[in-house]
Protein backbone atom coordinates (compact mmCIF):
# COMPACT_ATOMS: atom_id res chain seq x y z
CA UNK A 1 0.00 0.00 0.00
CA UNK A 2 2.80 2.37 0.90
CA UNK A 3 4.41 1.63 -2.44
CA UNK A 4 1.21 2.54 -4.28
CA UNK A 5 0.81 5.79 -2.33
CA UNK A 6 4.45 6.70 -2.94
CA UNK A 7 4.00 6.00 -6.63
CA UNK A 8 0.91 8.22 -6.81
CA UNK A 9 2.70 11.03 -4.99
CA UNK A 10 5.64 10.75 -7.36
CA UNK A 11 3.28 10.86 -10.32
CA UNK A 12 1.58 13.95 -8.88
CA UNK A 13 4.93 15.70 -8.68
CA UNK A 14 6.11 14.51 -12.07
CA UNK A 15 3.01 15.55 -14.02
CA UNK A 16 3.17 19.28 -13.16
CA UNK A 17 6.91 19.26 -13.80
CA UNK A 18 6.38 17.68 -17.20
CA UNK A 19 3.64 20.22 -17.97
CA UNK A 20 5.95 23.08 -17.09
CA UNK A 21 8.75 21.63 -19.21
CA UNK A 22 6.40 21.09 -22.15
CA UNK A 23 6.50 24.80 -23.07
CA UNK A 24 10.18 25.74 -22.99
CA UNK A 25 9.84 28.97 -25.00
CA UNK A 26 7.26 30.76 -22.87
CA UNK A 27 8.05 34.39 -22.04
CA UNK A 28 7.81 34.78 -18.25
CA UNK A 29 8.33 38.40 -17.18
CA UNK A 30 8.54 37.51 -13.49
CA UNK A 31 11.78 35.63 -14.23
CA UNK A 32 13.55 38.93 -15.01
CA UNK A 33 14.24 39.72 -11.34
CA UNK A 34 16.80 36.90 -11.17
CA UNK A 35 19.52 35.84 -13.58
CA UNK A 36 22.45 33.44 -13.28
CA UNK A 37 21.61 32.83 -9.63
CA UNK A 38 21.68 36.52 -8.69
CA UNK A 39 18.84 38.86 -7.75
CA UNK A 40 18.72 41.79 -10.20
CA UNK A 41 17.83 45.12 -8.57
CA UNK A 42 18.81 47.45 -11.44
CA UNK A 43 15.47 48.90 -12.56
CA UNK A 44 17.08 50.89 -15.38
CA UNK A 45 18.80 47.78 -16.78
CA UNK A 46 15.66 45.65 -16.58
CA UNK A 47 13.52 48.49 -17.92
CA UNK A 48 15.69 48.66 -21.04
CA UNK A 49 15.50 44.86 -21.44
CA UNK A 50 11.71 44.96 -21.03
CA UNK A 51 11.38 47.70 -23.65
CA UNK A 52 13.54 45.74 -26.10
CA UNK A 53 11.51 42.58 -25.48
CA UNK A 54 8.31 44.51 -26.18
CA UNK A 55 9.67 45.82 -29.49
CA UNK A 56 10.84 42.38 -30.58
CA UNK A 57 7.63 40.66 -29.55
CA UNK A 58 5.72 43.40 -31.38
CA UNK A 59 7.70 42.49 -34.49
CA UNK A 60 6.86 38.80 -34.02
CA UNK A 61 3.08 39.35 -33.85
CA UNK A 62 2.81 42.06 -36.53
CA UNK A 63 1.53 41.39 -40.05
CA UNK A 64 4.44 40.25 -42.20
CA UNK A 65 5.30 41.78 -45.62
CA UNK A 66 4.62 38.46 -47.34
CA UNK A 67 2.29 39.41 -50.19
CA UNK A 68 2.70 40.88 -53.68
CA UNK A 69 1.64 44.46 -54.33
CA UNK A 70 -1.13 43.20 -56.64
CA UNK A 71 -4.47 42.51 -54.92
CA UNK A 72 -6.63 39.44 -55.55
CA UNK A 73 -9.41 41.11 -57.53
CA UNK A 74 -13.06 41.52 -56.57
CA UNK A 75 -13.84 37.78 -56.69
CA UNK A 76 -10.49 36.40 -55.57
CA UNK A 77 -9.73 34.15 -52.59
CA UNK A 78 -6.40 32.84 -51.30
CA UNK A 79 -5.42 30.47 -48.51
CA UNK A 80 -1.93 29.50 -47.44
CA UNK A 81 0.03 27.77 -44.70
CA UNK A 82 3.31 29.42 -43.84
CA UNK A 83 6.18 29.56 -41.39
CA UNK A 84 8.11 32.55 -40.08
CA UNK A 85 11.57 32.26 -38.57
CA UNK A 86 12.31 35.14 -36.21
CA UNK A 87 16.07 35.46 -35.58
CA UNK A 88 16.00 36.65 -31.98
CA UNK A 89 19.78 36.37 -31.55
CA UNK A 90 20.72 38.03 -34.86
CA UNK A 91 21.29 41.33 -33.05
CA UNK A 92 24.22 42.81 -31.17
CA UNK A 93 23.36 42.66 -27.46
CA UNK A 94 26.64 44.39 -26.50
CA UNK A 95 27.60 41.68 -24.05
CA UNK A 96 24.28 41.72 -22.19
CA UNK A 97 21.92 38.72 -21.96
CA UNK A 98 19.07 38.94 -24.44
CA UNK A 99 15.63 39.85 -23.04
CA UNK A 100 14.47 36.42 -24.25
CA UNK A 101 17.05 34.75 -21.99
CA UNK A 102 16.03 36.98 -19.07
CA UNK A 103 12.40 35.88 -19.42
CA UNK A 104 13.21 32.21 -20.06
CA UNK A 105 12.71 29.72 -17.22
CA UNK A 106 16.08 28.07 -17.96
CA UNK A 107 17.75 31.37 -18.99
CA UNK A 108 18.56 29.79 -22.36
CA UNK A 109 15.99 30.79 -24.98
CA UNK A 110 16.32 29.41 -28.50
CA UNK A 111 18.25 31.51 -31.05
CA UNK A 112 15.12 31.89 -33.18
CA UNK A 113 11.35 31.55 -32.94
CA UNK A 114 9.42 29.33 -35.34
CA UNK A 115 5.92 30.64 -36.00
CA UNK A 116 3.69 28.40 -38.17
CA UNK A 117 0.74 30.35 -39.57
CA UNK A 118 -2.45 30.02 -41.57
CA UNK A 119 -3.67 32.96 -43.68
CA UNK A 120 -6.98 33.59 -45.45
CA UNK A 121 -7.40 36.49 -47.89
CA UNK A 122 -10.39 37.90 -49.79
CA UNK A 123 -10.34 40.34 -52.68
CA UNK A 124 -12.95 43.11 -52.77
CA UNK A 125 -14.11 45.66 -55.36
CA UNK A 126 -12.05 48.76 -56.17
CA UNK A 127 -8.73 46.93 -55.82
CA UNK A 128 -9.13 46.37 -52.09
CA UNK A 129 -8.41 43.29 -50.03
CA UNK A 130 -8.69 41.98 -46.46
CA UNK A 131 -6.90 39.16 -44.71
CA UNK A 132 -6.57 37.30 -41.43
CA UNK A 133 -3.60 35.34 -40.04
CA UNK A 134 -3.45 33.01 -37.04
CA UNK A 135 -0.20 31.54 -35.78
CA UNK A 136 1.49 29.69 -32.93
CA UNK A 137 4.81 30.72 -31.41
CA UNK A 138 6.53 27.36 -31.41
CA UNK A 139 7.45 25.81 -28.07
CA UNK A 140 5.19 28.13 -26.09
CA UNK A 141 1.61 28.46 -24.92
CA UNK A 142 1.27 31.73 -26.86
CA UNK A 143 0.20 32.56 -30.37
CA UNK A 144 -0.56 35.53 -32.57
CA UNK A 145 -3.62 36.79 -34.40
CA UNK A 146 -3.49 39.55 -37.00
CA UNK A 147 -5.63 41.11 -39.69
CA UNK A 148 -5.25 43.75 -42.36
CA UNK A 149 -6.96 45.76 -45.05
CA UNK A 150 -5.22 47.17 -48.09
CA UNK A 151 -5.90 49.05 -51.30
CA UNK A 152 -3.95 49.21 -54.56
CA UNK A 153 -3.14 52.78 -55.55
CA UNK A 154 -1.75 51.65 -58.93
CA UNK A 155 -2.48 48.20 -60.32
CA UNK A 156 -2.16 46.73 -63.79
CA UNK A 157 -0.80 49.85 -65.51
CA UNK A 158 2.42 48.37 -66.88
CA UNK A 159 5.19 49.35 -67.06
CA UNK A 160 4.24 51.32 -63.92
CA UNK A 161 4.76 49.04 -60.87
CA UNK A 162 1.81 48.06 -58.70
CA UNK A 163 1.62 50.06 -55.46
CA UNK A 164 -0.57 49.10 -52.50
CA UNK A 165 -1.13 50.61 -49.05
CA UNK A 166 -1.88 48.43 -46.02
CA UNK A 167 -3.22 49.04 -42.54
CA UNK A 168 -3.12 46.12 -40.12
CA UNK A 169 -3.22 45.07 -36.50
CA UNK A 170 -1.73 42.07 -34.71
CA UNK A 171 -1.62 40.87 -31.14
CA UNK A 172 -0.08 38.32 -28.80
CA UNK A 173 -2.54 35.81 -27.34
CA UNK A 174 -2.12 33.20 -24.63
CA UNK A 175 0.61 34.78 -22.47
CA UNK A 176 -0.45 35.28 -18.84
CA UNK A 177 2.04 38.05 -18.03
CA UNK A 178 2.36 40.13 -21.19
CA UNK A 179 -0.03 41.85 -23.58
CA UNK A 180 1.51 43.14 -26.81
CA UNK A 181 -0.17 44.50 -29.94
CA UNK A 182 1.13 46.14 -33.11
CA UNK A 183 -0.55 48.58 -35.48
CA UNK A 184 1.19 48.55 -38.86
CA UNK A 185 1.00 50.93 -41.79
CA UNK A 186 2.96 50.01 -44.90
CA UNK A 187 3.45 50.44 -48.63
CA UNK A 188 4.35 47.67 -51.09
CA UNK A 189 5.89 48.19 -54.54
CA UNK A 190 6.04 45.33 -57.04
CA UNK A 191 4.87 43.79 -60.29
CA UNK A 192 3.87 40.46 -61.85
CA UNK A 193 5.60 38.86 -64.84
CA UNK A 194 4.84 35.80 -66.95
CA UNK A 195 7.47 33.06 -66.92
CA UNK A 196 8.07 30.05 -69.16
CA UNK A 197 9.24 29.18 -72.65
CA UNK A 198 6.01 30.27 -74.36
CA UNK A 199 4.98 33.74 -73.17
CA UNK A 200 1.25 34.21 -73.41
CA UNK A 201 0.63 30.45 -73.31
CA UNK A 202 2.10 29.46 -69.94
CA UNK A 203 0.20 30.25 -66.76
CA UNK A 204 3.33 30.62 -64.65
CA UNK A 205 3.98 33.97 -62.96
CA UNK A 206 6.54 35.56 -60.68
CA UNK A 207 5.68 38.53 -58.47
CA UNK A 208 8.59 40.25 -56.70
CA UNK A 209 8.03 43.12 -54.25
CA UNK A 210 9.59 45.61 -51.86
CA UNK A 211 7.93 46.84 -48.68
CA UNK A 212 8.35 49.55 -46.07
CA UNK A 213 6.25 49.51 -42.89
CA UNK A 214 6.07 51.50 -39.69
CA UNK A 215 4.92 49.51 -36.66
CA UNK A 216 3.45 51.11 -33.52
CA UNK A 217 3.91 48.66 -30.64
CA UNK A 218 1.73 48.87 -27.51
CA UNK A 219 2.28 46.71 -24.43
CA UNK A 220 1.15 46.09 -20.86
CA UNK A 221 2.69 43.82 -18.22
CA UNK A 222 0.07 41.78 -16.34
CA UNK A 223 1.99 41.62 -13.06
CA UNK A 224 1.62 42.77 -9.49
CA UNK A 225 2.75 46.34 -8.85
CA UNK A 226 5.92 45.34 -6.99
CA UNK A 227 7.21 43.09 -9.78
CA UNK A 228 6.23 45.58 -12.49
CA UNK A 229 8.19 48.30 -10.73
CA UNK A 230 11.19 46.01 -10.17
CA UNK A 231 11.55 45.28 -13.90
CA UNK A 232 10.62 48.78 -15.07
CA UNK A 233 7.57 47.51 -16.93
CA UNK A 234 5.87 50.74 -17.98
CA UNK A 235 2.72 50.65 -20.07
CA UNK A 236 3.16 51.65 -23.71
CA UNK A 237 -0.10 52.96 -25.12
CA UNK A 238 -1.68 56.04 -26.60
CA UNK A 239 -2.93 58.20 -23.74
CA UNK A 240 -3.54 61.83 -22.86
CA UNK A 241 -2.10 61.35 -19.37
CA UNK A 242 1.50 61.06 -18.17
CA UNK A 243 0.80 57.69 -16.59
CA UNK A 244 1.71 55.79 -19.77
CA UNK A 245 4.40 56.07 -22.40
CA UNK A 246 3.56 56.42 -26.09
CA UNK A 247 3.61 53.31 -28.30
CA UNK A 248 7.05 52.46 -29.67
CA UNK A 249 7.48 53.23 -33.38
CA UNK A 250 9.56 50.62 -35.23
CA UNK A 251 10.37 50.94 -38.97
CA UNK A 252 10.72 47.73 -40.98
CA UNK A 253 11.98 46.89 -44.48
CA UNK A 254 10.95 43.81 -46.42
CA UNK A 255 11.20 42.08 -49.78
CA UNK A 256 10.07 38.83 -51.36
CA UNK A 257 8.75 36.96 -54.36
CA UNK A 258 5.76 34.77 -55.13
CA UNK A 259 5.82 32.01 -57.75
CA UNK A 260 2.37 31.01 -59.08
CA UNK A 261 1.31 28.23 -61.45
CA UNK A 262 -2.21 26.87 -62.03
CA UNK A 263 -3.49 28.64 -58.95
CA UNK A 264 -0.85 27.20 -56.60
CA UNK A 265 1.76 29.57 -55.21
CA UNK A 266 4.98 29.50 -53.22
CA UNK A 267 6.13 32.61 -51.37
CA UNK A 268 9.55 33.49 -49.98
CA UNK A 269 10.15 36.75 -48.13
CA UNK A 270 12.39 38.44 -45.58
CA UNK A 271 12.15 41.52 -43.43
CA UNK A 272 14.35 43.48 -41.07
CA UNK A 273 13.53 46.09 -38.48
CA UNK A 274 16.89 47.69 -37.54
CA UNK A 275 15.73 48.32 -33.95
CA UNK A 276 14.64 44.72 -33.44
CA UNK A 277 15.18 41.44 -35.31
CA UNK A 278 15.16 40.00 -38.86
CA UNK A 279 12.60 37.47 -40.08
CA UNK A 280 12.36 34.91 -42.88
CA UNK A 281 8.96 33.69 -44.06
CA UNK A 282 7.73 30.97 -46.38
CA UNK A 283 4.23 30.17 -47.58
CA UNK A 284 2.50 27.58 -49.74
CA UNK A 285 -1.11 27.92 -50.80
CA UNK A 286 -3.64 28.34 -53.55
CA UNK A 287 -5.70 31.13 -55.06
CA UNK A 288 -8.86 31.14 -57.12
Q: Are 163 and 15 in contact (CB under 8 A)?
A: no
CA of residue 246 relative to chain centroid, distance = 21
> Of 60, 112, 106, 65, which is closest to residue 219 (Cα–Cα)?
60
What is the secondary structure of 24-42 as a DSSP string? TT---GGGGGEETTEE---
Span 25-53, average pLDDT: 93
> Tens digit of pLDDT for each residue in 55-93?
999 999 999 999 999 999 999 999 999 999 999 999 888
Q: Is the pLDDT of residue 280 over 60?
A: yes
- Check if CATH label 2.40.128 holds for domain 37-91+112-287: yes
Alpha-carbon dihedral angle through residues 68, 70, 75, 78, given to the nearest 10 degrees? 0
Q: Residue 47 CB: number of other CB atoms within 10 A?
A: 17
Q: Name the CA dihedral angle for 45, 50, 55, 60, rounded to a multiple of 10 degrees.
A: 130
Q: Which residues contact residue 141 at a Cβ distance below 8 angstroms, ignoring those fewer than 6 apart?
A: 23, 26, 174, 175
CA quadruple 194, 197, 199, 203: dihedral sign: negative
Residue 1: pLDDT above 90? no
CB 183 within 8 A of CB 215: yes
Lowest pLDDT segment from 98-102, 179-183, 192-196: 192-196
Distance CA 166, CA 184 (A): 8
Tens of pLDDT, residue by residue over 209-222, are 999 999 999 999 99
Whole-model pTM?
0.88
Question: How far are the Cα atoms of 58, 175, 179, 243 from residue 223, in angstroms, in the given order?
Answer: 19, 12, 11, 16
Exposed e or buried b for every residue in 162-197, given b needs 16+ CB within 10 A? bbbebebbbbbbebebbbbbbbbebbbbbbbeeeee
Which pLDDT band holds residue 275 (cuts at 50, 70, 90)?
very high
pLDDT digits (tens, 9 = 90+) for 108-167: 999 999 999 999 999 999 999 999 999 999 999 999 999 999 999 999 888 899 999 999
Amino acid sequence: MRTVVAGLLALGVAVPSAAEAAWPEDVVLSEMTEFDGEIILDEELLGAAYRQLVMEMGTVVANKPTMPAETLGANGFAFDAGTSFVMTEAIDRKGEPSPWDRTHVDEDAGPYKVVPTFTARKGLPLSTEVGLTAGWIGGSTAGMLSGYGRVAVFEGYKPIPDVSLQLGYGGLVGNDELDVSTLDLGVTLGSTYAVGHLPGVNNGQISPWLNFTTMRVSANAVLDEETSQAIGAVRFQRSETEEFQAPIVVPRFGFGAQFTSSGVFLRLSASWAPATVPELSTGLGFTF
